[in-house]
Structure 1
Amino acid sequence: MFNANPFQQPGQWYRGNTHSHSTESDGQLSIADRFAAYREAGYDFLVLTDHRKVNDVSAYSTSDFLAISGSEVHPENPYGGAIHHFVAINIHEPISCAKMHPNAVLDEIKAQGGEAVLCHPYWSGHTITDYLPLRGYFAIEVYNDGCMDIGKAFSEQAWDDLLDRGGPVLGIASDDSHGTEHDCFHGWIMVKAQELTIESIMEALRTGAFYSTMGPEITDLTLDGKVLTAKCSPAQSIVFKAQCSRGQRILPPNGELLTEATYNIPESVKYVRVEITDESGKKAWSNPFFF
C-alpha cells in the first residue's frame, strides 16, 4: 500500500541504487568491483540488474552493505513502441521473455517476490500508450543517469502522465551504471527502513518509504490535513506537483535560497509530489501523497 511518509515513521535512512550492470552483461566492471565501488562510495545497498540474467550476489553482502539480486528484462511491446525495459528488483531466477506478454513478465517478477520498475521512458521513446495497459509494476524511473549521454535522463512527464491517468506509481532515481565514473553515483534513493535487510528494504520500497535525489536532501515532509509542508537543503525552487494544471512553484526572493515551503491542497487534487531543485540544478523528488 503506497502513501507511507518516511519522515513520519521509525527506522534509519539507507542510500541505494536500483539499476546497475557488470561485465556479465554490458557493464565495464566485474560483479565484485561493481559492488565494491558502491560500497566505497558510501552506499548501503545496490541492486545488480544485468540484462536478461540473474547473478548470485550473496557473497557481496556485509554487516553494513546489502547486495540485492535482480535483472533488466526486455519483453516485446505490443502497443506500438520500442521494446520494454523493466528492472526486476529481488528476483532469483532469470525470466525468458520470448513470446511473453509484458504483463506476464510483470506477474513472474511478482511471483518471485520481486518488484518491477519501468526504465528510462524518455530514452526509450515510450508514451502513455505504451504504459497504460501494463499492470503490476510499482515505480518508474524519474531520473536515469546513464541517459544523460543523450540528454534524456529526466522522465518527469511520463511519471505525471501515469499519475494523472494510470493511478498510483512511485518515482525512482537511478544510475543505470555501466561505466566507472560518468554514470555512477549521480542518482539514488534514500530509503527509510527498520534495518538493512532485503525484507526491510523491499517493504520500504513497496510502501513508498523513500525519496529520490541527485544530491539535494529532503529533510521533512509533513501533511496536516490538506496542508503539505516540505523542508529541504538550500534550494532555488520547491515545486508541489499535482494532476494536470494543479500545483504550485515556490521561489525565494532574489539572491536567496529556500529551505521550506507549504502548499494548501485544493479539494480536487488526487495526488501531490514534491520536487526540489538546488543552485546547481540538481533535483530531488518525493513520492506522491495520494488522496
Structure 2
Amino acid sequence: MCQPGSCEHRHEPFPTPHEAGEGTPGPGRRSLLMADGIAGAAGVPTLAPMAFAEAAESGTPEGGEVTKVITGHLASGVADFVYLPVEVPRGVNQISVSYTYDEPPVPAGTPGNSCDIGLFDERGTALGGRGFRGWSGGARAAFVVNSDSTTPGYLPGPVNHGTWHIVLGPYQVAPQGMEYSVSVTLRYGAPGAPFVPSYPAERAKGRGRAWYRGDAHLHTVHSDGRRLPSEVAAGAREAGLDFIVSTDHNTSSAHGVWGPYAGPDLLIVTGEEVTTRNGHWLALGLEPGAWIDWRYRARDDAFSRFAHQVHRQGGLVVPAHPYCPYVACQWKFGYADADAVEVWNGPWTYDDESAVDTWDAMLGTAMRTGNDWLPAVGNSDAHGAPQVIGLPQTVVYAEDLDRGAVLNGIREGRTYVAESAAVALAFTATGGGRRAGIAEALRLRADTPVDVRLEVSGVPDGTVRFITDEGQTHQESLDASGSGTVVWRTTASLAAYVRAEVRHPRADGTPGRGNTTGRDLQWGPMAALTNPIILRLRD
C-alpha cells in the first residue's frame, strides 16, 4: 500500500546553521547564504559551506579521517529542500554522512518533524542535472559514498574534489521548528576499484504472444523497502510473476545490482518511483542507470519536462495511488502526460475505490470527445513483510517477454488487474461477425447485437459486474468453485465501452484478499478488473 511520504509546507526559508570541527561545539554562524550570493536559479536556500583542508595541509595520513558537524534550526515554513555545501578537497576517497533531528511533542492532528536526506556531487544540484549521487528519504540516518561499497540508495563512484551538497528535505516541520545536526566524515586515500554494474537483461524466455503477469511497483533496501533485491526476485517467482519493475523512491541505485536475479523465467525492468510534494508517479522502463528528478510541485510546471524525459527513453509515466491518504501522495499534476494510471495499489482500500471511479469517469469523457483513453494498472507497492508481492498484479498481453513488448502492452491497455496468480480472466466482445478483446474496438451499426463474454476462475462466490458509460449494466454471481462464464448482450447504441469487474462478497475478511474496507461499501473488495473493450458506431 502507499506509504507515508512527503508533507506540504510553505516556501519561507529561515535555516540558521552552526558548524564545529571534530564534533566539538564551535562558533555559531547565523547567516543564511544563497547560491552565488542570491536565491539562485531555482530559489533554493543554501547553508554556509562546510570546508575541509587538503590532505597535505591537514597532515591526515593515508586512510585517515576528518569529521565536522554542523547544527542548526529550520523554522516551520522552510523550503522543500535545503542544501548544505561541502567543500571536498583532493585526495578523498570516501564521504560519510549522518544526521539527526529533534521530534518535539505536537498537539493531536499537527504534523511532527520528519526530514529526508540525499547527496549531490561536484557536478551541481541543478534540476534534472548530472550531480545526483543518492537519496535516503527518511529510511536511514547515515550513508557512505565511495567507489565500491556505497550505501544502498546511493551511486558508487569517485569522490572528486569540488563543492558537494547534502540536501535536507524537511517535509514535515513542527510548529516549534526542527533542530538538526549533520555530521560529515571525509576519508583520505587513493580511490578504490570502480563499481561495475550488472544490469538485468532486457529479455526473458517468454512464451511468444501471451498473457504475462507482473508487478510494476516494488521497493527494496535501496529506498525505504525492507527486502533485498534477491528477496524481491524470490518473492516475485513465488507469486507466479513473469516480470517486475524496480521502482525505488527517487534513485536508480538498484539498477546495477539486478542482473544476477533476473533469468529466463523472470524479466526485471528498471524504473523509479518519483515522489514529489504533489503526488507520486512511476517511471517504468527507464534505461538502466537513468535517474528522474522529483524536486518540484505542480505549480512549478516541471512535470511535463520529466515525463518527456521518460518517454524519450521508451518508458511509461504512470501516476501512482492517486488518492493515497498520506500527505503529498495525492496526485495533482493531471493526466495529460500519463500513459496509464495505477487504480489499485496493494490491499483493496477506499482510495482504490475512488481511483477506479475517477478512471471510469475519464473513460466516459474520452469516448465522448474522441480522445485517447487512459489504461488502468494495479501493483503491490510492497515494501516488506507482511506486504505481499503481486497483490495485486497487472496481467499484460504482450508479443513476448521483453522490456519493449511488456511496456507496449501496458501503453496500449492490453491488460487486466488480478489480486493474485490464482485469478484469471478472458474478456471478449463479439458482434457483426467480428471479435474484440481488451483494449480493442468493434465498429458496428447501432442495432447490431454484441455479446460480451467474461470467463473467470479463482474467485469463489464472486460477483461479476459489467460497466459501460451508463454505469453498471449487468451483474451475475459465481458459485463456490470460483469459476464461471458470464455472457451479456448489448449494442453500440447503448454502450460506448464495456469493462468488467469481479468482486469478492461484501465484508470478506479472509486474509490475503486485500479487504480493508467495511460493510458500508456497496460492493465487496476487488478480485480483478479489466480495461475496456470499445464499441464504436458505424454509418
Same fold (TM over 0.5): yes
Decide whether the 8 Å contact of 1:240 with 1:263 is kept in 2.
Answer: no
Per-residue CA deviation, residues 102-132 of structure 1 (Å, 9 max, x unaligned), is 2222212111210011111221589x9946x
Task: Specify whether residues 271 and 102 from structure 1 end up closer, same or farther in structure 2 by C-alpha distance, changes over 3 A only.
Answer: farther
The aligned counterpart of 2:303 is: 102
- Secondary structure of the residue aligned to 1:94 is coil
Query: Please, which of 358, 365, 385 is the counterpart of residue 180 of structure 1?
Result: 385
What is the one-letter code of the residue matched to 1:22? T
Q: Where does structure 1 differ by over 6 angstroms across 4 or more consecutive aligned residues?
A: 253-257
Query: Please, which of 415, 418, 430 is the counterpart of residue 223 of structure 1?
Result: 430
Structure 2's unaligned 5+ residue stretches are 1-207, 367-371, 433-449, 509-524
User: Which of the pair has more CA radius of gyration?
Assistant: 2
Alignment of 1:58-207 (within 5 A): 58-76=259-277, 83-92=278-287, 93-99=290-296, 101-124=302-325, 130=332, 133-145=334-346, 148=349, 151-154=350-353, 155-165=355-365, 167-207=372-412
The CA deviation at 1:30 is 1.5
- Secondary structure of the residue aligned to 1:190 is strand
Greater RCO between the two (CA within 8 Å, min separation 6)?
1
The answer to whether the aligner puts 1:285 opposite 2:529 as a matched pair is yes
Decide whether the 8 Å contact of 2:262 with 2:268 is kept in 1.
Answer: yes
The aligned counterpart of 1:251 is: 476
The aligned counterpart of 2:245 is: 47
What is the CA–CA distance in structure 2 between the aligned matches of 1:37 and 1:247, rounded to whole Å? 36
The CA deviation at 1:29 is 0.6
Decide whether the 8 Å contact of 1:45 with 1:66 is kept in 2.
Answer: yes
Per-residue CA deviation, residues 244-269 of structure 1 (Å, 9 max, x unaligned), is x3441322499897532224144153
Task: Specify whether residues 256 and 263 from structure 1 end up closer, same or farther in structure 2 by C-alpha distance, changes over 3 A only.
Answer: farther
What is the CA–CA distance in structure 2 between the aligned matches of 1:32 and 1:47, rounded to whole Å? 14
What is the CA–CA distance in structure 2 between the aligned matches of 1:33 and 1:129, rounded to whole Å? 30
The aligned counterpart of 1:4 is: none
Task: Specify whether residues 63 and 184 from structure 1 end up closer, same or farther in structure 2 by C-alpha distance, changes over 3 A only.
Answer: closer
Decide whether the 8 Å contact of 1:14 with 1:193 is kept in 2.
Answer: yes
More divergent stretch after superposition (157-166 vs 46-55)? 157-166
What is the CA–CA distance in structure 2 between the aligned matches of 1:240 and 1:60, rounded to whole Å? 40
More divergent stretch after superposition (159-168 vs 256-265)? 256-265
Decide whether the 8 Å contact of 1:64 with 1:196 is kept in 2.
Answer: no
Task: Specify whether residues 263 and 276 from structure 1 end up closer, same or farther in structure 2 by C-alpha distance, changes over 3 A only.
Answer: farther
The CA deviation at 1:282 is 4.2
Structure 1's unaligned 5+ residue stretches are 1-9, 77-82
The CA deviation at 1:278 is 4.1
The CA deviation at 1:194 is 2.8
Decide whether the 8 Å contact of 1:238 with 1:261 is kept in 2.
Answer: no
What is the CA–CA distance in structure 1 between the aligned matches of 2:479 and 2:211, rounded to whole Å? 33
- Secondary structure of the residue aligned to 2:323 is helix
The aligned counterpart of 2:233 is: 35
- Secondary structure of the residue aligned to 2:264 is coil
The aligned counterpart of 1:3 is: none
Decide whether the 8 Å contact of 1:120 with 1:147 is kept in 2.
Answer: no
The CA deviation at 1:14 is 1.6
Task: Specify whether residues 269 and 282 from structure 1 end up closer, same or farther in structure 2 by C-alpha distance, changes over 3 A only.
Answer: closer
What is the CA–CA distance in structure 2 between the aligned matches of 1:86 and 1:253, rounded to whole Å? 36
What is the CA–CA distance in structure 2 between the aligned matches of 1:163 and 1:25, rounded to whole Å? 34
Task: Specify whether residues 130 and 268 from structure 1 end up closer, same or farther in structure 2 by C-alpha distance, changes over 3 A only.
Answer: farther
Task: Specify whether residues 144 and 219 from structure 1 end up closer, same or farther in structure 2 by C-alpha distance, changes over 3 A only.
Answer: same
Give the structure-2-normalised TM-score: 0.46
- Secondary structure of the residue aligned to 2:351 is coil
What is the CA–CA distance in structure 2 between the aligned matches of 1:209 and 1:106, rounded to whole Å? 22
What is the CA–CA distance in structure 2 between the aligned matches of 1:14 and 1:138, rounded to whole Å? 19
* Alignment RMSD: 2.9
What is the one-letter code of the residue matched to 2:408? E
Decide whether the 8 Å contact of 2:464 with 2:477 is kept in 1.
Answer: no
Higher helix share: 1
Per-residue CA deviation, residues 42-78 of structure 1 (Å, 9 max, x unaligned), is 21111010011123133322011111111011345xx
What is the CA–CA distance in structure 1 between the aligned matches of 2:270 and 2:464, rounded to whole Å? 35
What is the one-letter code of the residue matched to 2:495? V
- Secondary structure of the residue aligned to 1:122 is coil
Give the structure-1-normalised TM-score: 0.81
Alignment of 1:250-269 (within 5 A): 250-252=475-477, 258-267=484-493, 269=495
Per-residue CA deviation, residues 17-59 of structure 1 (Å, 9 max, x unaligned), is 0100011111011122212221233211110100111231333
Task: Specify whether residues 254 and 174 from structure 1 end up closer, same or farther in structure 2 by C-alpha distance, changes over 3 A only.
Answer: closer
What is the CA–CA distance in structure 2 between the aligned matches of 1:214 and 1:84, rounded to whole Å? 24
Decide whether the 8 Å contact of 2:279 with 2:331 is kept in 1.
Answer: no
- Secondary structure of the residue aligned to 2:411 is helix
Q: Percent identity?
A: 23
Task: Specify whether residues 256 and 249 from structure 1 end up closer, same or farther in structure 2 by C-alpha distance, changes over 3 A only.
Answer: farther
- Secondary structure of the residue aligned to 1:74 is strand
Task: Specify whether residues 254 and 41 from structure 1 end up closer, same or farther in structure 2 by C-alpha distance, changes over 3 A only.
Answer: closer
Decide whether the 8 Å contact of 2:375 with 2:412 is kept in 1.
Answer: no
